[in-house]
Structure 1
Amino acid sequence: MAKLRPTKTFKPKPPAGLPDRETLLAFLRDAGETGKADIARHFGLKGADRRALREMIRELEAQGALAKRGRKGFAEAGSLPPVGVADVVERDGDGELYVKLTKSDDDVPNVRLAPGKGEAAAGAPGLGDRLLVRFERLETGEFEAKLIKKLGQSAHKILGVIRKHRREVRVEPVDRKSKESLVLDPSVAHDFKEGDLVLAQVGTHGGRYGPKPGKVLEVVGTENDPRAASLIAIHSHGIPTGFSEAAEAEAKTAVEPTLAGREDLRDLPFVTIDPVDARDHDDAVYAHPDEDETNKGGFVVWVAIADVAAYVRPGSALDRDAREKGNSVYFPDRVEPMLPETLSNGLCSLRESENRATLAVRMVFDKSGRKKGHRFVRGLMRSAAKLSYEQAQAAIDGQPDDKAGPLLDPILKPLWDAYRTMKIGRDARSPLAIESDERRIIIKGGEITSITKRASLEAHKLIEEMMVQANVCAAESLEAKRSPLIYRVHDTPSLEKVQNLADFLQTLEIRWSKGEAPQTARFNKLLEETRESPNAAIINEVVLRTQMQAHYSADNIGHFGLNLAKYAHFTSPIRRYADLIVHRGLIRALGLGTDGLTDQDIAQIKDTAEVITHAERRAMAAERDATDRYIAAFLADRVGATFEGRITGVTRFGLFIKLADTGADGLVPVSSLGQEFFVHDDKMHALVGERTGKRWPLGLSVEVKLVEATPVTGGLLFEMLSEPLPPDPKMPRPRLGARRQAAVKPRGGLPKGVRRGKRR
């Protein structure tokens, strides 16, 4: 069926040529933040016109009409994004609140917070709160902010560790990017112990210098607690924890499913294949050869997903809590689930040999791996077996255990045959084949026993491809019914990022046409051609950095990485709210029950996409920070040891090193690289010595010594033991300018005999 697209207002393409000032500003007003390359592409500028554009941008910036955004972006001065994270920074005499965009430049104004529907569920915000807001431009030209949701961490609160000194007690921040510590009032300081993890309020300061006063709001644990890393991550990133009493009560009323309104699928031998330590199971699979004579060599593939929508109804307390959380958050030592355990590890988990409610999809593939059709079923199923990835893979590889052995011929071999047929279609589609380097932290008895690289088995790829195809079916069915839905989208890499990739590859003498449209097949060809080269790992890393970040949206732009035109998340409703919304959409659109998508769900679907995108990124940051802290704790007793690693980041202030065995990331400060003054060459992705031209390029394998490991912040500091590469004879030497310019005294300086004080 042809893809249904929303009606768009026709906008004529601008005439090629240098725009005038007003035309350029009008474009930036509509586009928001954008880069010079994208402006030039929009107006079709080349050669001399591009140079003239750069000069026009410089003039507008000097006049205050344009402002920088990020490293290379620009926007109209005073402009704001459609949605952003903001802090409540002011209350006027009438009680009106004003917010300021976090990470904003000086040109961004404070914006009045309009009363809105978001306050009903979240409560009225106050000074110091951090909010997710929508910015709207009024007819007057000014902006107004509307609350989408309150975020967990207040702008003026810090998570820190109690440190007792001889004369004072301080709260030292656990965020390694923060240098601001707080001093506690001596009258209450004795209430806290050295090493207490506390949430503290930043007070007002009476003087200009010295640390600010602070007030402890809550003791959340101790730094020596084996679970300190996850506790810090949860509080630092404002991860919602626990459930409301109403949600817990609703979960306890859930009852076993029956056949009422469901198709009986209990005779189909579904199996769940998950990590060995998985606590919940929201997907099961089954496949067999297609018996249809017109589809010889084809397969029927079933994917059964837990019917969470049957238990989490729109507007319920469970639904409100799940929407606020957005997703489950996974740490090495604990999980903060999206749903109460009664459901996530109970009736919504496809347990072995137990009746479970399911929303399943039956897919038919031909012998070339092309999907011929599908249909959704709301049914009752019973998992025939629970297997781990390793169990299933070992059975296929000829080493079945007692549990997998009896399943090998009737269930596992048909599954693998179906996957290998589907893989033909997958290879033809050529999704992006970037290799991941995930690490698994093993914790026993509160101690980290090992850090290992996650294995990539064919069993993982089988489940992944079957889930991808089920997700495609969900998007296709909802589009066919003209139903609103939340897509999982992934934009095409920007022209600027592709140009940066081309510049980097040129330093490795690898050709990449800058004018070439980004395609997954082209990226895959590059990765395949360099897979056996010494630069394979870093090329994989740079290609990954070239990609945009996937997110949720009510508008479809396709999924570049998977090379799919229609894609939605359907297969994990236990742990992702997006999937629950898609389930409700299917139930309503296909007439599978009365508990489908409501008009209220539809009305707020754009807000929901924004809320859960923020929740996903919040969870990713928290998981990453917790992992860094656990790794730092694991390496704390190995200070002074040497390690093999690779340069994975080059900045003006130092080199980021990833260790080969643990995947730990740490910094070698540029000041510790010797007497040479190093210049950051962003095109070569290298630090280059001013005098000698010696280089520290991205991807270089090095040996380092661990100098410092700080578990409470997750910081690792290294000393470089390897030597830099010799100068590149094909590249010009960096100019001796940075220090000379700093050494030249400005004209019209201070009067004779007057010394310049130190900056504070």
Structure 2
Amino acid sequence: MKKPKGKKPGLPSREDVLAFIAEHPGQSGKREIARAFGLKGAAKIALKKLLKELTDDGVLVRHRKRLTKRGELPSVTVLTVHELSSDGDLVALPQQWDEDDLGDPPRVLVLDSKRPNAPKPGLGDRILARITEPPEPDAGFAYAARPMKLLEKKNPPVLGIFRAMPGGGRIIPVSKKQDEIVVDAIGAGKAKDGDLVEVEITKAGRHGLKRGRVKETLGNMDNEKAVSMIAIHAHEIPHVFPSEVLAAADAATEADWSRREDWRHIPFVTIDPADAKDHDDALYAEADPSSDNDGGFVLYVAIADVSYYVRPGSLLDKEALHRGNSVYFPDRVVPMLPERISNDLCSLKEGVDRPAMALRIILDKSGRKKSHSFHRVMIKSAAKLAYPEAQAAIDGDPSERSAPLLETVLKPLWACYDAMKKARDAREPLDLDLPERKILLKPDGTVDRVIVPDRLDAHRLVEECMIQANVAAAETLEKQRTPLVYRIHDTPSLQKLEALREFLTSIDLSFSKSGNLRPSHFNHILQRVAETEHADLVNQVILRSQSQAEYNPENIGHFGLNLRRYAHFTSPIRRYADLIVHRALVRALSLGAGELPSDAEATLKTVSEQISGTERRAMAAERDTIDRLISAFMADQIGASFTGRIAGVTSAGLFVKLSETGADGFVPISTLGDDYFIYDEASQSLIGERTSKGHRLGDNVEVRLIEAAPMAGALRFELLSEGVKRSQIDAKRSIRNARRRRGSRLADKGNRRNGRSQRKRS
């Protein structure tokens, strides 16, 4: 620390000391001040006296060996996360603050830590944080802070079912990992028996049940929307739009024609699920009239122009970023944008003028893209078709609505798709066959039945058109050197590949270790097992071996699609990532209002992490809801027998997926019989040490339903099928391998423990 310029050695004045401390907040102790002013010997004693006077007068406050001006925070301090700002940022207050003397405590903006494994605080948490200057001095924050350590995690509210009892009641948590909670009459409030409630823990001792109070009543469990509400609250999904956001949406008006081309003469069609309420993409294709592209096509893709209505930094934009994406449940949708925007102004409705970001692609007869261009346009959709309706028309059974479009619109689209299929097959993306089950509900919100919808060419056509548009968006923005958010998908990790290789060996399939890994290597395995008993199993195992796709401003390509560059562009109504790409295109091509701000690149990394997280949150909430609905559907079938397939093997037992409903349940290892079962990770099996009978991933089994816990979405089965007899040689080899791996893991654990001990000693 340098001595202040122009100061000769000598005792500084009170003003000099205070100025130095103000210029070096949190870094000023007696030693630093003495060094800065060149004080030695008796002068240091005089400085000590001066600092004591300033402290006694209340001008300075001592924090250990550091001094700060009264009313200022030290460089490292304890904060309590108090609230969320209007931008969705965490706001903290200092834990120690004398409001009677100093007034209201300063609001501190909590920033992300720069350390990769730093704590991520939430509302109510206490943190140790390093104080710094706020990024924007006029944003209403006196300080900013970066978390260093999570000191106390506030007990989050518990979601459960209220069961009335004399003098209060009990809360049965929806999670089986939580114990029941007792509430007295006051704590129960207005909750009625069977209500789904959010409970705040008020007392938790070492012995006995926790005590709490009902914080909020979310409705009765007989209500058709209660099951999805559990997931919404458990995963903290924002589902109620603030009034000011709704007001902003209601104030929006129809888009003007500024810098728009008139494409209303093009007979676009939307092809969506039959129950879709918003339509954000429309398609049209025709034979290319150009003489140098014989057999080629011109494909038009129009996407709702959300960027016109949702401007950067607006209330709508902040709420959309906070949500990240829409969340889809069997009984409802939690949208990213208010309905005035998503279902009205931005929805490409049939026969209505609507603004769009559009793409014109020239394809050759092999489906390879020759060129493309983006346009900001106004379109008028010729028809709203459902997937089965469009497919039926192509298959020779047109409806009254699709018949007039068959020759002029639908057949050219399908001809264009036939060409794109050739290019897709040549590209060889990962080709997994994983049928998706869909839950159909009764009017009261309970499960009617579970179906596997047909996979139609109409679905594949729309998907391939969207992929073409997404690639074109990424290519254009790269060429224009405009920052964007990519959709990236990394190659599988070496650890997952080795686990896959060991599993495939157990069913007599090989997977080469050499060469540059491509999706086609997995496809060759899938082709070998197609139409065999292992087909479903191998598809699932290969899926588990893949990395998870995410958003990132740095491109590594998309492994699964086998594409060098890929960005989500086609669903800005329901994904914030697509809205960013739209804004980037508006900026890159000078298309008018709603462009990506010039300083956006600095925040794209943080935004990408946030929306990747909201995507994972949505997937988890959707999965939990389906589990709860199916568990409730099966709750009255205790004791019934079902057929299924072993979908997972662990050292604790077996996960079984039922054939008819796709319901997942668990078979504890303790219920498998009187043999001692050993878990072999390589073959994904449990093997009886005495009998050599085993249960392996993919085995067809019969089970009996023993327990159903609808609120936890959990089923417990009893295995009725006997294990498959393995040869003594195979069984002994698997047992030997399992023990060797267990021994190796224990040795590694011991080595790590010894290493930590040595580091501590050194």
State the match for 2:356 in structure 1.
358
Structure 1 segment 596-635 matched on structure 2, within 5 A: 596-635=595-634
**Which of the numbers 67, 79, 97 marks the counterpart of 1:97?**
79
Partner Cα distance (2:147, 2:334) in 1: 25
Q: Distance in 1 between matches of 2:154 and 2:263?
A: 49
Question: 1: CA distance between counterparts of 2:552 and 2:652?
Answer: 37
**In structure 1, C-alpha distance between the alignment counterparts of 2:147 and 2:322, rounded to whole Å:** 14
> 2:52 — aligned with what?
none
Cα 1:198/1:120, change in 2 over 3 Å: same
Alpha-carbon separation, structure 2, partners of 1:452 and 1:227:
21
CA contact (8 A) 2:188 2:213 kept: no
Tell whether the 8 Å contact from 2:351 to 2:382 is kept in structure 1 after alignment. yes
Q: Give the corresponding residue for 2:158.
A: 158
Contact 1:369 1:422 in 2 (8 A): yes
Per-residue deviation, 1:183: 2.1
RCO higher in structure (CA 8 A, sep ≥6): 1
Matching of residue 485 in structure 1 with residue 484 in structure 2: yes
Q: Which runs of 5+ in 2 are unaligned?
A: 1-72, 96-108, 117-127, 131-144, 744-762
2:90–2:110: 8 Å Cα contact kept in structure 1?
no
Q: 1:186 to 1:718 in 2, by over 3 A?
A: same
- Counterpart code for 2:262: D
The separation in 1 between residues aligned to 2:76 and 2:389, in whole angstroms, is 66
1:135 is aligned to 2:113? yes
Check conservation: 2:692, 2:728, Cα contact below 8 A.
no
Shift, 1:259, TM fit: 2.7
Secondary structure of the residue that 2:464 maps to in structure 1?
helix
Q: Identify the residue that residue 642 of structure 1 maps to in structure 2.
A: 641
Q: Quote the offset at 1:133 in angstroms.
A: 6.9
Can you list the C-alpha shifts for 1:57-98, whole angstroms capped at 9, x where unaligned?
xxxxxxxxxxxxxxxxxxxxxxxxxxxxxxxxxx99986238
For the 8 Å contact 2:155–2:201, the answer to whether it is kept is no
Q: Secondary structure at the match of 1:96?
A: strand
Shift in Å, 1:444: 2.9
- Distance in 2, matches of 1:135 and 1:409, equals 59
CA deviations over 1:395-435 (Å, ceiling 9, x no partner):
11111111111111110000000001011000000111112
Distance 1:530 1:132, change over 3 A: farther
1:239–1:154 CA distance, 2 compared to 1 (3 A): farther
Please say which of residues 283-292 and 395-404 is displaced more in the overlay: 395-404
CA displacement at 1:220 relative to structure 2: 1.2
CA contact (8 A) 2:630 2:663 kept: yes
Return the alpha-carbon distance in structure 1 between the equivalents of residues 558 and 243 of structure 2.
Answer: 39
More deviation in 397-406 or 607-616? 397-406
How much has 1:222 moved relative to structure 2? 2.1
Counterparts of 1:133 and 1:223, CA distance in 2:
39
Residue 690 in 1 paired to residue 678 in 2? no
Find the aligned partners of 1:254 and 1:488 in 2 and give their Cα distance. 30
Instruction: State the secondary structure of the residue aligned to 1:579.
Output: helix
Q: 1:601 to 1:118 in 2, by over 3 A?
A: farther
Higher mean C-alpha displacement, 567-576 vs 654-663: 654-663
Amino acid corresponding to residue 96 of structure 1 in structure 2: V
- Aligned residue among 415, 438, 442 for 1:444: 442
Does the CA contact (< 8 Å) of 1:159 and 1:198 recur in 2? yes
Alignment CA distance shift 1:133-1:504 (3 Å): farther
Find the counterpart in structure 1 of residue 571 from structure 2. Answer: 572
Q: Which residue of 2 aligns with 1:405?
A: 403
Q: Say if 2:77 and 2:129, in contact at 8 Å, map to a contact too.
A: no
| Counterpart Cα distance in 2 of 1:136 and 1:316 | 28
AA at the equivalent of 1:173? P
Per-residue CA distance 1:614-638 (angstroms, 9 max, x = gap): 1101011001001111111222222
Q: Choose which of 401, 419, 428 in structure 1 pairs with 2:417.
A: 419
Other-structure match for 2:507: 508
Matches within 5 A, 1:670-689: 670-689=669-688
Identity %: 48
The equivalent of 2:91 in structure 1 is: 124
Partners in 1 of 2:161 and 2:467 — Cα distance?
44
Identify if the C-alpha distance between structure 1 residues 262 and 125 changes in structure 2 by more than 3 Å, giving closer, same or farther: same
Q: Write the letter of the residue equivalent to 2:644.
A: G
CA drift of 1:731 comes to 2.1
| TM-score under structure 2 length normalisation | 0.78
Residue 169 of structure 1 and its aligned partner are, at CA, apart by 2.8
For the Cα contact (< 8 Å) 1:530–1:536, is it kept in 2? yes
Change beyond 3 A, Cα 1:730–1:519 = farther
Q: CA deviation at 1:568?
A: 0.3
After superposing the two structures, state which structure 1 stretch, 349-358 or 644-653, moved more: 644-653
Deviations 1:370-417 (A, max 9, x none): 111100000000000000000011111111111111111110000000
Does the CA contact (< 8 Å) of 2:187 and 2:214 recur in 1? no
Q: CA deviation at 1:611?
A: 0.9
Amino acid at match of 1:454: P
Q: CA deviation at 1:223?
A: 2.2
In the alignment, is the contact (CA less than 8 A) between 1:136 and 1:143 conserved in 2?
no
Q: Secondary structure at the match of 1:224?
A: coil
2:700 corresponds to which residue? Answer: 701
1:103 paired residue number: none
Tell me the secondary structure at the aligned position of residue 730 of structure 2.
Answer: coil
The 1-side partners of 2:180 and 2:75 are apart by 32
Per-residue deviation, 1:251: 1.0
Distance 1:685 1:325 in 2: 38
Q: From the superposition, tell whether residues 127 and 461 of structure 1 become closer, same or farther in structure 2 (CA, over 3 Å).
A: farther
- State whether residues 299 and 367 of structure 1, in contact with CA within 8 Å, keep that contact through their aligned partners in structure 2: yes
Distance 1:92 1:222 in 2: 49
Shift of 1:211: 2.2
1:533 to partner: Cα distance: 1.2
Answer whether contact 1:117 1:147 (CA < 8 A) is retained.
no
Query: Which residue among 238, 244, 249 is the counterpart of 1:251?
Result: 249
Alpha carbons 2:297, 2:363 under 8 Å: kept: yes
CA positional deviation for 1:607: 1.1
Instruction: Return closer, same or farther for 1:387/1:155 CA change in 2, 3 Å cut-off.
Output: farther
Aligned partner of 2:282 in structure 1 is: 284
User: Which residue in 1 is equivalent to 2:170?
Assistant: 170
Query: 1:257, 1:380 within 8 Å by CA — same for their partners in 2?
Result: no
CA shift, 1:518, in A, is 2.5
**CA distance in 2 between partners of 1:383 and 1:120 (Å):** 36
1: distance between equivalents of 2:524 and 2:312?
46
**For residues 737 and 596 of structure 1, do their structure 2 counterparts lie closer, same or farther at Cα, with a shift above 3 Å needed?**
closer
In the alignment, the residues of structure 1 paired with residue 482 and residue 75 of structure 2 have an alpha-carbon distance, to the nearest angstrom, of: 46
Measure the CA separation in 1 of the matches of 2:370 and 2:545: 34
The answer as to whether partners of 1:263 and 1:380 remain within 8 angstroms in 2 is: yes
Deviations 1:649-673 (A, max 9, x none): 1111111111111111111111221
CA contact (8 A) 2:79 2:129 kept: no
How big is the shift at 1:574? 0.3
For 1:484 and 1:256, how far apart are their aligned partners in 2? 29
Structure number with bigger Rg: 2
Using the size of structure 1 for normalisation, the TM-score is 0.78
Q: Distance in 1 between matches of 2:213 and 2:603?
A: 38
* One-letter code aligned to 1:715: A
**Which residues of 2 match residues 328-477 of structure 1 at below 5 A?**
328-446=326-444, 447-477=446-476
Structure 1 stretch displaced more, 160-169 or 514-523 = 160-169
Q: Deviations over 1:586-621 (max 9, x none)?
A: 000011013200134333111110110111010110
Are the equivalent residues in 2 in contact too, given 1:314–1:601 (CA < 8 A)? Answer: no
Determine the C-alpha separation between the residues in 1 that align with 2:510 and 2:570.
40
The residue identity in structure 2 corresponding to 1:261 is R
* Structure 1 equivalent of residue 65 of structure 2: none
Check the 8 A contact 1:290/1:296 in 2, yes or no.
yes
CA contact (8 A) 2:325 2:336 kept: yes
Residue 161 of structure 1 deviates from its aligned partner by: 1.6
CA drift of 1:287 comes to 0.3
SS in 1 for 2:379: strand
- State which of 225, 240, 244 in structure 1 corresponds to 2:238: 240
How far apart are residue 475 of structure 1 and its match?
Answer: 0.4
- 1:78 matched residue in structure 2: none
Q: Report the CA distance between 1:646 and its aligned residue.
A: 0.5
Question: Aligned in 2, Cα 1:346/1:168: closer, same or farther, shift over 3 Å?
Answer: closer
> Is the 8 Å Cα contact of residues 92 and 110 (structure 2) preserved in structure 1?
no
SS in structure 2 at match of 1:272: strand
Q: What amino acid is the match of 2:91?
A: A
Deviation (angstroms), 1:260: 2.7
